[in-house]
Amino acid sequence: MKNILLASFCTLMLCSSAWASPRTGVHPEGICTSDFNLWGHSSQCSCDEGRGYDQRAGLCLDSGDSEEITISGAIAAGLAAIGGETTGFEITSKEGDTYELILKVADQEKLSTLDKMWFEVTGELVVIKGVERKERTAIIAEKLGVLE
């Protein structure tokens, strides 16, 4: 009986979305509309089969379950990277984990003046594939809160 319970628990944990890997995104190579939404990206773009356009991130994300994450840490603004492969913002937890932040344009403007302040960020975890930096982990920030 003990082995059955242990096997059931392991199966549930391995198959649950909490253990799922984050969705992977690539920049669209197809046709995009020329407008800009609240996130600063085109409202519509065509993507390869098996991927859907996410207008928050401006990326073609693979299909799959999204993984939500909440992280607390210091936000850095105004970052630059080789090939322009950065969102310009990142959060570093007290454990040293670093994530790029995908933000609405209004939040980008606010956070530009609040560099190095501590925030709690909740959103979808994604991996962005690039040319120079290969893969980088990012959070599509849905909720931001200042920590004191």
Question: What digits encode the pLDDT tens for the residues 64-83?
Answer: 888 999 999 999 988 877 66
N-terminal to C-terminal alpha carbon distance within the chain: 49
Domain annotation covers residue 106: yes
CA angle 52, 119, 87 (to 5 degrees): 40
Domain annotation covers residue 38: yes
Look at residue 106 and tell me whether its pLDDT is greater than 80: yes
pLDDT for the residue numbered 83: 65
Question: Dihedrals φ, ψ of 112, to 5°?
Answer: -60, -30
**Residue positions counted in the chain:** 148
Domain annotation covers residue 90: yes
Q: What is the CATH number of the domain that holds 49?
A: 2.40.50
The candidate with the shortest Cα–Cα distance to 18, out of 52, 65, 61, 55, is 65
Mean pLDDT for 115-123 is 92
CA angle 125, 57, 78 (to 5 degrees): 90
Domain annotation covers residue 67: yes
Q: Which residues contact 34 (CB under 8 A, 6 or more apart)?
A: 42
Domain annotation covers residue 34: yes
pLDDT band for 59, please (50, 70, 90 cuts).
Answer: very high
pLDDT for the residue numbered 3: 40
Domain annotation covers residue 109: yes
Domain annotation covers residue 74: yes
| DSSP-derived secondary structure letter, 34 | S
In the chain, which residue ranges form alpha helices assigned H by DSSP? Answer: 2-15, 105-112
- Counting the structural domains of the chain, the total is 1
Is the pTM here over 0.75, yes or no?
yes
- Please say whether the beta carbons of 48 and 60 come within 8 A: yes
Q: Which domain holds residue 60?
A: 21-146
Beta bridge partners of 32: 45
- Please say whether the beta carbons of 67 and 17 come within 8 A: yes
